[in-house]
Amino acid sequence: MLELKNVHAYYGDSHVLHGVSLCVEDGEVVGLLGRNGAGKTTTLLTIMGYVRCRDGSIAYKGQRLDGLQSYLIARCGMGFVPQERRIFPSLTVRENLTVGERRAGRGRWRLKDIFDIFPNLGERQKNLGCHLSGGEQQMLAIARALMLDPSMLLLDEPSEGLAPMIVEKIVQVLREVKNKGLPILLIEQNLGTALKLADRHYILSKGEICYRGTSAELEADETVKRQYLGVYAGEAAGGQGQAPRQTTV
Amino acid sequence: MRTYTHALWSLALVWAVAGSAGAADEIKIGLLYPTSGIYAAPAKQGIQGATLAFEEAGGQVAGRKIVTIVEDDEAKPEVALAKAKKLAESDRVNVLMGIIWSPNAMALRGYLSERKLPLVISEAAPRPITQELGTPYIFRTGFASGQLDYPFGQYACSKLGYKKIVVIAFDSIFGRELGDFIDAGCKQAGGAVVEKIYAPVETADFAPYFARIQQANPDAVWALWAGAAALRFLKQYDDFGMKQKYPLIGHGALTDEAVINAAGSVAQGVVSYYNWSPAIDTPENKRFVEAYRKRWGSEPGVYSAGGYRAASAILAAAKAVGGDVANTPKFLEALKAVRLDIPSPIRFDAHQQAVHSLYIRRVQPGPGGKLVNAVIGEVRGIEQYWPKGKPAK
Amino acid sequence: MQLVAFQVVNGLVYGMLLFLLAAGLSLIFGLMRVLNLAHGSFYMLGAFIGLALVQATGNYWLAFFVAPLLVALLGAVFEILFLRPLYRREHGGHLDQMLLTVGFIFVFVDVVRSIWGGDVLGIPTPEALSGAVSIFGVFLPKYRLFIIVLGLALAATLWFFIEYSRLGAMLRAGVDDADMAEGLGINVSRMFTLTFALGVGLAALAGVSSGPMLGVHTGMDLEILIVTLIVVVVGGMGSLKGALIASILIGEADTFGKAYFPEATMFLTYLIMVGVLLFRPTGLFGIRQDA
């Protein structure tokens, strides 16, 4: 349902995406992997319309997204959870959740549901965004996207810099989201987390897709893991080393 | 071919001669007025007054056409100098007139001497320019600062009975000098200025200063504000109920006709002084006021009279030299001897400064209910050095 | 003591006028990162359009409500036509925007001068508010008291709108992170247009309400702009609370300065600015300038 065909994108004069093609089907969680600077975040930003798609096309449910303004892309059903969360610091937790809500009370997730999923946020709903911990901010960023009642989620490194317990919680929440049939495009540095959540994976290198395969295929392919992800046998955890070896088989 | 060239040359020659003759036939007068900014309204009056005088002369003197060129000096000395140079060197005017903003007159002084270009100042009042810094090229039909103020200070104390006065004026050399002259005049007559307030010329809100006036609790307040600021001052002085407690007296600019017409009842009762009022009851003045009204469809103000007076002086001198204004020494001699009766009598003293009459006026409804500066007192023969006999350098 | 009270009230009047301008300027900067140097011009336009409406209808209150609306509309058109094309330029086109708004200072003043001339004009004080009242022996014009009430009421309304309404939350989200707000489906360009219209509408309201007090003329735009900029710098760009507190602070400083150190009034104002900038470079309640 989301299909990128031969997408080229630039930052100023520097050519960042060299003809990226990928697709995410209904109900599917797709991982987008690769080393730092491979173009993962740029791919997401291009889908969201922040970075112009200069060549190629982006289609979602048969509608062209490239060339649309970001707010219209969001209104097409894209729930965007950016890197570094980008919580509105001067809005309360509650306001962060409701500020973009377009179908108040009619979506799949209401405030009440969100507070059931993330009790922390419920307790702190009157606190300002800038007073939350990193984990709470990540939860809020995901919750904020869910409150838009999206038909697809775009997640940029949701586990980055978080304590294992919180990563666990987030993985659990994303599984629930997946079970509700919501497709997800997920950028993840931590291979273990990615393998747990995603059905299929793309690996980007220097702005090009250099590998595609299912979780099982990727997990088995030591060469690809070593070459493109910097993961060696027996060290399945992501390059950052913040997460424990939760992903070893 | 040769004939053809000849013909062309002859034609060019005829043109050249005709052209230069045309220029010699004209009397070119440059009008320097601040036509934009806060003095835009006074400048407009001045230009209208001057234009009326030129038109009444039939647009010519001794068969020579009068050509006027107006330039905006923006009330800035450097602009005035640049515009004067433009008028002198590119338009080749024979004489300049105008100038409202005092520093502009000072800024032109050196250039005029160098260029030997006469200037008749209609308003700008810096004292030295007709005293210790006088030059043969500068005449002033307006008044010098202090010329009217010192005698008014005396008048306010002795005739109006205000012994304790607060001065509130815009902060400039001119404003401060006038404040000092009022003070000196008062002291001479046994009174005193108890407080002097000098506020920025662009003051929008006078309320903060009213507290100081209340604190000083004077018999009267003397004010010097012009144009925009005058209007605001009158309005706010009335808004705060100050007028009932402290009678307002002031410089003529404060109750300029344009100001009191716009201000309405808030200006009523204000006593001011100037070298003129449209309400002066003489046939000469009535003639001027009527003619101005008819020509411009509005009431003449003090700046209208000023412009008319300066233009009339130039016309009278030009006439005396048979239109030969290009002969500067002759023209300057003729200027010195000029005496005018319209709109009010003036003559020049030895330093080329006009000797005026001082008119004390009160703002009150005139015939037809419109507010006018009714004349309530007159002192004749007011010279620039006051008290009389003060040495002129 | 009465004189001090008198000055406090006068300072408050001036402060409220400054607030109406500073609030708009600050909101526009906070959301759009546009320093609208033509803000004073919209203040002037409000006053002149108000004057024209008063002259045409004889009804001050009609002018009071309609002039700001017309100017807000003009502001919306201005934003769409002139500012919008600049946002996508390098560095957000900040320098271009500043130059553009400076250019429009001259355009607006020439337009006004060509229609109304260079004279100082006045808007008559509305009947119901003319005259003065004496409160504890302090003599104060009713109209000035009205300005204080108006300013405080608008401050409260704006605060309520921004802090508690959904549109206000969207506005704050836009101020915090315009890109992210857009990513949540918020039409940030429309917010820009609305904010600009609101901001210049408030300036116009200040213009039309200052008319009966300070008069209406072509120099009023720059007179107020400089002080407004100081207020916004002191209060902190993008902060409504900062705008209110700094407006009152500068208003009182100016009023007391005029009364007690007339030669050093502007010095006092600049001193406050320098002091604040030294100790709090982003102003009293400034938002962070990073990101």
On the question of a cis peptide bond just before residue B387, with omega within 30 degrees of 0, the verdict is yes
Is B60 inside any structural domain?
Answer: yes
Cβ–Cβ of B208/C259 closer than 8 Å?
yes
Are B214 and B321 contained in the same domain? Answer: no
Taking the domains of chain A in order of start, what are their residue ranges?
Answer: 2-77+151-229, 87-150
Is B313 inside any structural domain?
Answer: yes
Taken in order of first residue, the domains within chain C and their CATH numbers are 2-279 (1.10.3470)
Q: Beta strands B119-121 and B95-98: pairing type?
A: parallel
CB distance from B244 to chain C under 8 Å? no
Measured between beta carbons, which residues in chain B are less than 8 angstroms from residue C119? 40-41, 258, 262
Q: If you measure CA to CA, which chain A residue comes closest to C291?
A: A86
Distances (CA, A) of B219 to A194, B8, B177, B179, C197: 90, 80, 22, 16, 50
Return residues 9-48 of C near B (CB < 8 Å).
10-11, 13-14
Are B76 and B168 contained in the same domain? Answer: no
Distance CA C146, CA C125 (A): 11
CATH number where B327 lies: 3.40.50.2300
Are B240 and B291 contained in the same domain? Answer: no
Nearest to C186 among A86, A95, A100 (CB): A100
- The pLDDT score that the predictor gives to residue A245 is 39
Render pLDDT for C178-196 as a digit per residue (tens, 0 to 9).
899 999 999 999 999 999 9
- The pLDDT score that the predictor gives to residue B55 is 96
One pLDDT digit (tens) per residue for chain A, 249 residues: 899 999 999 998 899 999 999 999 998 999 999 988 889 999 999 999 999 999 999 999 989 999 899 999 999 999 999 998 899 998 999 999 999 887 766 788 888 999 999 998 999 999 998 899 999 999 999 999 999 999 999 999 998 888 999 999 999 999 999 998 899 999 988 888 899 899 999 999 999 999 999 999 998 888 888 887 876 655 444 444 444 433 332
Are B240 and B325 contained in the same domain? Answer: no
Nearest to B225 by CA among B209, B244, B241, B246: B209
| Lookup: tokens for B3 | 């004939």
Is B391 inside any structural domain?
Answer: no
Is B378 inside any structural domain?
Answer: no
CB distance from A85 to chain C under 8 Å? no
Which residue out of A90, A94, A153 would a mutagenesis test of the C interface target, given it has the greatest number of C Cβ atoms within 10 Å? A90
Distance CA A172, CA C169 (A): 30
CB distance from C6 to chain B under 8 Å? yes
The answer to whether the CB of C48 falls within 8 A of the CB of C118 is no
CB distance from C125 to chain B under 8 Å? yes
Which residue out of B35, B217, B231 would a mutagenesis test of the C interface target, given it has the greatest number of C Cβ atoms within 10 Å? B231
Are B237 and B311 contained in the same domain? Answer: no
pLDDT of C232 strictly over 50: yes
Are B104 and B153 contained in the same domain? Answer: no
Are B235 and B180 contained in the same domain? Answer: yes
Return residues 148-187 of A near C (CB < 8 Å).
148
Which residue out of C8, C16, C119 would a mutagenesis test of the B interface target, given it has the greatest number of B Cβ atoms within 10 Å? C119
At residue C51, φ and ψ (nearest 5 deg) are -60, -45
Q: Structural domain of residue B172, as residue ranges?
A: 149-274
Higher pLDDT, C30 or B161: B161
- The pLDDT score that the predictor gives to residue B391 is 40
Q: If you measure CA to CA, which chain A residue comes closest to C90?
A: A12
Distance CA C264, CA C269 (A): 9
Regions of chain B where pLDDT drops below 50: 1, 17-22, 387-389, 391-393
Are B286 and B139 contained in the same domain? Answer: yes
Run of H or E residues at B377: strand B371-382
Nearest to C43 by CA among C219, C168, C194, C189: C219
**Strands of chain C, DSSP E:** 132-135, 138-141
CB distance from B232 to chain C under 8 Å? yes
- The pLDDT score that the predictor gives to residue C215 is 84
ipTM for the whole complex: 0.86
Distances (CA, A) of B206 to B249, C2, C258, C272: 16, 17, 9, 22
Is B17 inside any structural domain?
Answer: no
- The pLDDT score that the predictor gives to residue C268 is 86
Is B176 inside any structural domain?
Answer: yes
Domain boundary among B274, B303, B333: B274
pLDDT of C286 strictly over 90: no
Domain count, chain B: 2
Which residue out of B239, B242, B261 would a mutagenesis test of the C interface target, given it has the greatest number of C Cβ atoms within 10 Å? B239
Q: If you measure CA to CA, which chain A residue comes closest to C288?
A: A89
CA Rg value for chain C: 19
Are B153 and B269 contained in the same domain? Answer: yes
Are B241 and B173 contained in the same domain? Answer: yes
Domain boundary among B248, B274, B300: B274
Q: Domain A2-77+151-229 belongs to what topology?
A: Rossmann fold (3.40.50)
Neighbouring subunits of B (3+ Cβ pairs under 8 A): C
Domain boundary among B213, B241, B274: B274
The answer to whether the CB of A79 falls within 8 A of the CB of A154 is yes
Distance CA B68, CA B247 (A): 43
| Lookup: tokens for A7 | 């997408």
Which residues contact residue B42 at a Cβ distance below 8 angstroms, ignoring those fewer than 6 apart? Answer: B34, B100, B123, B226, B227, B256, B258, B301, B303
Strand partners, C141: C132
The answer to whether the CB of B183 falls within 8 A of the CB of B193 is yes
Are B236 and B292 contained in the same domain? Answer: no
Nearest to B331 by CA among B18, B19, B29, B53: B29
Which residues of chain C have a Cβ shorter than 8 Å from any chain A Cβ?
A: 166, 169-170, 172-173, 175-177, 179-189, 287
Distance CA A207, CA A187 (A): 14
Task: List % helix, strand, coil for chain C (3-state, nearest 5).
Answer: 80, 5, 20
CB distance from B226 to chain C under 8 Å? no
